Structure 1
Amino acid sequence: MAIIELKMPKMGESISEATILNWLKNVGDTVEEDETILEVATDKVDSEVPSPCAGVITEILFQSNEVVEIGKVIAIINEDTIQGTKKTITKENVSVTKETLSIKNKEISASNPKREYTTQKLVSNPDAFLSPLVLSIAQKENLTLEEVQSIQGTGTEGRIRKSDVMHYIKNRKYPLPSRPQLEAPKSSYNAPPVAFVEGKDRIVEMDRMRKMIADHMVYSKHTSPHVTSYIEVDVTNIVNWRNKVKIAFQEKHGEKLTFTPIFVEAVAKAIQEYPMINVSVDDKNIVVHSDINIGMATALPNGNLIVPVVKNADEKNLLGLAKRVNHLANNARNNDLKPDEVKGSTFTISNVGTFGSLMGTPIINQPEVAILALGIIKKRPEVITTEKGDEIAIRSMMYLSLSFDHRVVDGFLGGSFLRKVGDELEAFDSNREI
């Protein structure tokens, strides 16, 4: 029988590690080719890992809740005999004998020696990216933020990984001294205890995704000085047009017509005019993204939020946007989003009106620098200017709110971009063809 290495699969260009959630098979179990063996998770999405061949699991190298680098071997499978005939060893199934595997491991060790860490007093980098996982470990180990930021990262572009933090803790000889500070007067106020009534109240532990969302939100508020601007938009033309064509649109194209693709289209056009809103901050540099990838905050069946991404939104017409939006929304509702569908966003929208909210103050989806919230559409009397002068008319109105990172987006840029989105919505052609 041939030995097959099951490796942690690649789940996107920016993903360097994943957490093992659950093994569905144990050592000694027989598996079929493409049968799901385990479930893994990144900070974006959960995924299933299939078996590359039929065989018997002889070794599991990592357990549940362990974080594993992409490409690292996580299990060993002995390829099974199928109908009494040995499978052919080909380039496709990458089977090797024990002797060959031993030789290969020696070659790998010789050509890629294990990275040597040096324990030294490091300088804190206040702009170091800290993932939710790293922040969680730091909190458990009582590391200061400054101390964590001083750790030498071995990930992509120097990113600090779990292994870096654990190595630092193990060899922690030079913790950074705290900065001298004037002692603030001690407060006599004690935080009130959480009231809990035995037999009536209940405790619900946060699930893994909720913990990551919480860490990501705290990280965003810690990283970006948030400023929020608001405008009110008359979307009567959009509402009337959609009511008029939505049935015909679905009959013609087989796609449901919601407001979301219209909003995405308006945002994409505004970004083209104000490209500096479509950026990320990297240390002291501003990365201006050429692609316009719009994330749309979406509720999962369990109540958690995720952000599937409409890639290259500026290159799609309204039909193309409707197809993509519907596909992503359906996958989210069915817990079937793929890793590639939730990465790479450069700007995010959040339709808080879906939940009946008039407006919102959204938290920026890092590493982006702005996020747009869309409030509920409500009919109300408004003063409008006509050929006869000012008149009162029933109009469909909506609030837009833009939260932006004041490190790189000033009030002029933020306000101008927000107004451009509003102008695009108000100028919507009510005679538009489907």
Structure 2
Amino acid sequence: MSTVELKMPKMGESISEATILNWLKKVGDAVEEDETILEVATDKVDSEVPSPCNGVIAEIRFEPNEVVEIGTVIAVIDASGEVTVTPSVESEVAKDKKQPEKEVAIQEKPIADKEFRSLNTGDNDGFLSPLVISIAKKENLSIEEVQSIAGTGEGGRIRKSDMMLYLKNRTYPLPSRPQAIAPKPAYNAPPINFIEGKDRIVEMDRMRKMIADHMVYSKHTSPHVTSYIEVDVTNIVNWRNQVKNEFLEKYGEKLTFTPIFVEAVAKAITAYPMINVSVDGDKIVVHDDVNVGMATALPSGNLIVPVVKNADEKNLLGLAKNVNHLANSARNNALKPDEIGGSTFTISNVGTFGSLMGTPIINQPEVAILALGIIKKRPEVITTEKGDEIAIRSMMYLSLSFDHRVVDGFLGGSFLRKVGDELEAFDKNRKI
């Protein structure tokens, strides 16, 4: 038998290893020269590895998500076209033939990377390249801190440039801490009722897995408390309706409610700076910059949080330009690394989806997040010069979830009320 060894190709001067993402061929499959056999990933790029010759796959030596050094033999091809396999490979071929399609799909689910496990992170399907792991170890980053970094690679993958940008803007050294572990439940999780032929299984993409991990970590880390207020935003609604066309014609920018909300939040943070903090063990890190994150839904259905940097230093026009740019970039998957990192407080406009109110989960390592409900017209009792009257007003619920480790009811309630007061005090005669 004439065999050809397929080796992990060199993919750059500084690249010493790569991770196998997916095998497109299995043992026993015929391949043609230059036909793609597998996909591999480095910190810099994803690549397809072609077959060096015509033949049949005789042996596959590494599984998906395994890290392999450059130059290592990863597969063997029988160039004669007649595959002769070792017993172990024969068993794999037989296994592939016997398994139904559904079981094969489950078998190909990515497994936790060995280097990833060495960080004491536990099982996690999110891909971290060896280079990213190496940087994390060197800089003493905890896994939760690494997972909070917004990746700009394929499927939200964290790249070296993302790590470097994060470290450059890191204002306080946060030492590695073990991830909070939920107590083991005293009962077994109820089984999922899967109906063959009716129900279907959808594999989470990497970004969804990272979001899931981040949300669970936040609930395990921060004791959440949520407070609510109702706000009369009639002046804002009427003013915007009057000036939005003029605003667009004059500045070339759409005037949405979001920059007005961001402005009110920035003013409230200035009044209550202890809401603009992070927790590091028994220390409170007070942030000087007021960077407001905007939870934004992507076309894929996933969530991303672009950040309005130094929101307290911008006027309404500056905020409108910034908000529009970030929203458009998010929709077109064109956000830059520095536009999705460094938030110190987050807002989530759940009213966009028609929700009356929400109980948002804190965006770690922040300590509070504000949800804005739908604006609805309702009859309300208002006080005028003539006394109490019933009038049609535009009303909105605000809800603030805060970390009770460092934010007590007085601070949380006072901050939330300040946001509401800023919105209700909006000048209906404001000039653009």
- List runs of 5+ in structure 2 lacking aligned partners: 1-10, 24-32, 48-62, 72-115, 125-135, 147-182
Structure 1 residues 273-352: aligned runs within 5 Å:
273-352=271-350
- Structure 1 unaligned segments of length 5 or more: list them: 9-17, 30-36, 42-47, 52-62, 76-132, 142-152, 164-180
CA contact 1:242–1:257 (8 Å) conserved in 2: yes
- 1:385 Cα shift? 0.3
Question: Quick one: structure 1 residues 326 and 138, their matched pair in 2 at CA, closer, same or farther if it must change by over 3 Å?
Answer: same
Shift in alpha-carbon separation, 1:160–1:237, aligned structure 2, 3 A: closer
Alignment of 1:18-33 (within 5 A): none
Query: Offset of 1:162 from its aligned partner?
Result: 12
Q: Aligned partners of 2:387, 2:145: CA distance in 1, in Å?
A: 66
Report Cα offsets for 1:237-264 as digits up to 9, x if no partner. Answer: 0000000000110011000110000000
Say which SS state the counterpart of residue 154 (structure 1) adopts: helix
Residue identity over aligned pairs, in percent, reads 79
Shift of 1:20: 9.3
CA distance in 2, matches of 1:354, 1:134: 40
What root-mean-square deviation, in Å, do the aligned CA atoms of Structure 1 and Structure 2 show?
A: 3.8
Q: 1:424 aligns with which of 414, 422, 425?
A: 422
CA contact (8 A) 2:15 2:42 kept: no
SS of the equivalent of 1:383 reads: strand
Judged with a 3 Å threshold, the aligned counterparts in structure 2 of structure 1 residues 197 and 38 are, in CA distance, closer, same or farther, namely closer
Measure the CA separation in 2 of the matches of 1:323 and 1:39: 37
* Aligned equivalents of 1:7, 1:264: Cα separation in 2: 43
Structure 1 residues 405 and 353, CA gap change in structure 2 (3 angstroms): same
Find the counterpart in structure 2 of residue 177 from structure 1: none
Whether the 8 Å CA contact 1:154–1:161 is kept in 2: the answer is no
Aligned to 1:217: 215
Equivalent residue, structure 2, for 1:154: 137
1:381 matched to which residue of 2? Answer: 379
Match of 1:244?
A: 242
TM-score by length of 2: 0.63
Distance 1:360 1:162, change over 3 A: closer
What is the rounded CA distance, in whole Å, between the counterparts of 2:217 and 2:201 in structure 1?
25
Q: Which amino acid aligns with 1:416?
A: S
Q: Identify the residue that residue 5 of structure 1 maps to in structure 2.
A: 13
Cα distance change of structure 1 residues 136 and 304 upon mapping to structure 2, 3 Å threshold: farther
Output the CA distance in 2 between the equivalents of 1:161 and 1:349. Answer: 21
Change (3 A) 1:196 1:331: same
**Aligned pairs, number:** 303
TM-score (norm 1): 0.62
Residue of structure 2 aligned with 1:354, choices 352, 356, 372: 352
Deviation of the 1:139 alpha carbon? 3.9
Alpha-carbon offset, residue 135 of structure 1:
11
Helix, strand or coil at the partner of 1:348: strand
Write out aligned runs for 1:52-63 (5 A).
Answer: none
Spell out, residue by residue over 1:338-394, the C-alpha distance to the aligned partner (whole angstroms, 9 max, x if none): 111110000000000000000000000000000000000000000000011100000
Distance 1:38 1:416, change over 3 A: farther
Residue 140 of structure 1 is matched in structure 2 by 123
AA at the equivalent of 2:234: T
Q: Judging changes above 3 Å, is the alpha-carbon distance between structure 1 residues 49 and 198 closer, same or farther for their aligned structure 2 residues?
A: closer
2:231 equivalent in structure 1: 233
**SS state of the match for residue 428, structure 1?**
coil
Report the residue type matching 1:384 in the other structure: I
User: Contact 1:229–1:401 at 8 Å: present in 2 too?
Assistant: yes
Classify the secondary structure of the residue corresponding to 2:351: helix
Return the offset for 1:7. 6.6
